[in-house]
């Protein structure tokens, strides 16, 4: 069935892969950017392009009302250098301040606009890379809680994600917990520090992480839209893996030298508590539910194929 889909944040790394997949399946897509300079880019993806500020209730209400969608997809973050400055794991609260506002206020504005226009099909972005609860096994399902990262600079971000999940689930929508993105537009940020050997393995590198290629994240999102999915889904690949495995492999694919090893006591003051936790105690995620309930099939079932394909 052809649907009218509103993608809030259609110009981001995921939006740029998602919009063409929706259009290819015949859907009529309206996609947003905050910048009139990017309207042409969004149109080239096949969408009707609109400028919208997700932090401004009136702007959101107007854009949604005009598009008259049947589905709203929330992919608004402000993580890029243009919105947030240089990535800073050590001061994640500052780096993620804009994203956290989009996840708190922006989500509320979009849900209010959905309610005002009678939209009940709502799909929102959440996160499931290394942030599973740090107890028990290394791989978590949707039943397991995520890590609140209490007392660290990641805590406000985890609270903001918790808000998205609470209000979207209450509204009967779907929450897609994406793994760590890689793929067009998402790989350079990752590889540059690895090439410069500024991305060391911390401690034993035992902490797990889940990855997902942008095209697979997009295809799962299309399925959630079309199936009018409800509930939480981990959108990650088949192979959650410890840093000690994926990081040297990523470096080899990128033609970089083997990553350095840094003891935990030294990494903590240099890279901060969040990076240390991720590398030493992170928990990855299972995609069994998304495969079972959405019928999701991955183009890159493992980061092993995906890193090679992206970096060769």
Residues that bind ligand NAP (CB under 6 A): 9-13, 15, 32-35, 38, 52-55, 75-80, 83, 102, 127, 129, 178, 180-181, 185-186, 189
- Residue closer to ligand NAP by CB (options 263, 286) is 286
Compute the distance between CA of residue 303 and CA of residue 309 in angstroms, rounded to an integer.
Answer: 9
Residue nearest to ligand NAP (CB): 12
Q: Between 129 and 267, name the residue whose CB sits nearer to ligand NAP.
A: 129
Q: Which is nearer to ligand NAP, 151 or 239 (CB)?
A: 239
C-beta of 12: minimal distance to ligand NAP in Å?
A: 3
Q: How far is the CB of 259 from ligand NAP (least distance, A)?
A: 19
Q: 56 vs 144, which CB is nearer to ligand NAP?
A: 56
Nearest distance from C-beta of residue 11 to ligand NAP, angstroms:
3
124 near 74, Cβ under 8 Å? yes
Beta strand pairing call for 208-209 and 241-242 = antiparallel
* Distance in Å, CB of 265 to ligand NAP, minimum: 28
Minimal distance, residue 184 CB to ligand NAP, in Å: 10
Nearer to ligand NAP, 38 or 291 (CB): 38
Which of 84, 79, 74, 77 is closest to 31 using CA atoms?
74
Q: Which is nearer to ligand NAP, 13 or 202 (CB)?
A: 13
> Shortest gap between Cβ of 125 and ligand NAP (angstroms)?
7
Closest distance to ligand NAP from the beta carbon of 182 (Å)? 7
Q: Residue 41 CB, nearest distance to ligand NAP (Å)? A: 8
Cβ proximity to ligand NAP, 12 vs 203, nearer residue: 12
Nearer to ligand NAP, 61 or 204 (CB): 61
The answer to whether 170 and 203 have CB atoms below 8 angstroms apart is no
């Amino acid at each position: 069935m052809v649907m009218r889909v509103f993608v809030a944040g259609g110009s981001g790394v995921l939006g740029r892969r998602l919009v063409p997949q929706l259009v290819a399946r015949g859907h009529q897509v309206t996609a947003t950017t905050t910048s009139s300079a990017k309207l042409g880019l969004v149109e080239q993806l096949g969408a009707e392009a609109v400028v919208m500020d997700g932090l401004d209730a009136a702007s959101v209400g107007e854009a949604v009302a005009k598009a008259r969608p049947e589905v709203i997809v929330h992919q608004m973050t402000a993580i890029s250098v243009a919105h947030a400055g240089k990535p800073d794991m050590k001061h994640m609260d500052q780096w993620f301040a804009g994203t956290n506002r989009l996840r708190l206020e922006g989500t509320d504005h979009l849900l209010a606009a959905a309610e005002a226009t009678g939209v009940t099909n709502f799909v929102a972005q959440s996160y499931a890379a290394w942030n599973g609860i740090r107890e028990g096994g290394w791989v978590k399902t949707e039943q397991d809680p995520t890590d609140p990262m209490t007392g660290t600079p990641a805590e406000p971000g985890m609270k903001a994600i918790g808000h998205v999940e609470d209000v979207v689930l209450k509204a009967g929508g779907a929450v897609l917990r994406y793994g760590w993105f890689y793929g067009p537009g998402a790989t350079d940020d990752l590889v540059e520090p690895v090439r410069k050997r500024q991305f060391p393995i911390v401690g034993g590198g035992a902490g797990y992480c889940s990855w997902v290629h942008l095209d697979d994240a997009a295809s799962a999102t299309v399925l959630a839209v079309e199936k009018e999915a409800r509930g939480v889904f981990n959108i990650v690949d088949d192979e959650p893996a410890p840093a000690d495995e994926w990081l040297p492999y990523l470096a080899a694919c990128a033609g970089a030298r083997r990553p350095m090893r840094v003891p935990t006591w030294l990494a903590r003051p240099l890279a901060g508590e969040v990076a240390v936790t991720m590398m030493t105690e992170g928990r990855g995620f299972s995609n069994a539910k998304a495969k079972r309930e959405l019928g999701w099939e991955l183009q890159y079932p493992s980061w092993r194929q995906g890193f090679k394909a992206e970096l060769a």
